């Protein structure tokens, strides 16, 4: 059974601070890694994807991947109240394969 | 349209009724995925199409669930003899390459 594990939270972070979200996965064959943001009552929205070990930065977001440790994280710099949402970690083995989602981490940015 | 659309957005069914959920993917997107998301959980894979071919239906929870995409564009997820445990949000996603774009979902409530 391929699994993606996340701490359900809630994770509370002061406005302006760095929010750090973590995820581990069980399938060593996973090739693609995604972070989705989901606001309450809305559908998931892709924030970042990463394929290679190391860091990938996009604006205030940085995704980090360590395949040896089967670990992927998302850092949000200068957190804003609008960042309050559930963040879903997801992995995929092959390009056209299904995505396996974690249960999500609820993030709350404190104004 | 610019994105994935789903209809109806909300559906209430009495236990035992059949329901049909529709997904209109982004024009030109080859791949189409169906997911089920229970409250407080991440999306769980149901089935996947590449054009009209159903390549993976391993996530369908029972033979009451059936999906089709006869012309390689619009897809329908049908649930026969609905049960209370079928209550969830059903998400459709389409992709052309690596990124899956989600529709707004259909919230199914079985009474």
Q: Is B14 exposed, middle or buried (0-12, 13-18, 19+ CB in 10 A)?
A: exposed
pLDDT at A31 over 60: yes
Which residues of A fall within a CB distance of 8 Å from B43?
Answer: 44, 88, 99, 101
What's the average model confidence in pLDDT over A54-75?
96
pLDDT at A1 over 60: yes
Closest CB to B98 among A32, A100, A104: A32
Closest CA relative to residue A74, chosen from A82, A83, B37: A83
E-only strand ranges, chain A: 4-5, 11-14, 19-25, 32-38, 45-50, 54-58, 61-66, 71-76, 85-92, 99-101, 105-110
Beta bridge mates, B65? B79
pLDDT of A51 reads 92
CA torsion through residues A39, B106, B61, A48, sign: negative
Task: Yes or no: say if B85 and B68 are a contact pair by the CB < 8 Å rule.
Answer: no
Which residues of B fall within a CB distance of 8 Å from A101?
Answer: 35, 42-44
Predicted confidence (pLDDT) per residue in B15-47, tens digit: 999 999 999 999 999 999 999 999 989 999 999
pLDDT of A96 reads 64
């Amino acid at each position: 059974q391929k699994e993606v594990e996340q701490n359900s939270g809630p994770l509370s972070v002061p406005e302006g601070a760095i929010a750090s979200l973590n995820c581990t996965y069980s399938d060593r064959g996973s090739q693609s890694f995604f972070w989705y943001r989901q606001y309450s009552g809305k559908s998931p929205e892709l924030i970042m994807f990463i394929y290679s070990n190391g860091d990938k930065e996009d604006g205030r977001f940085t995704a980090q991947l360590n395949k040896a440790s089967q670990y992927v994280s998302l850092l949000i710099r200068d957190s804003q109240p609008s960042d309050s949402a559930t963040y879903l970690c997801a992995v995929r083995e092959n390009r056209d394969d299904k995505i396996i989602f974690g249960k999500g981490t609820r993030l709350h940015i404190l104004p | 349209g610019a994105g994935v659309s789903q209809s109806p957005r909300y559906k209430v069914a009495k236990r035992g009724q059949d329901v049909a959920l529709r997904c209109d993917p982004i024009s030109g997107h080859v791949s189409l995925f169906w997911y089920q998301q229970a409250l407080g959980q991440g999306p769980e894979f149901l089935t996947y199409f590449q054009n009209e071919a159903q390549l993976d239906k391993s996530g369908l929870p029972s033979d009451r669930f059936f999906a089709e995409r006869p012309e390689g564009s619009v897809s329908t997820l049908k649930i026969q003899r609905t049960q209370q445990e079928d209550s969830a949000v059903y998400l459709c996603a389409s992709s052309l390459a690596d990124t899956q774009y989600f529709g707004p979902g259909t919230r199914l409530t079985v009474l």
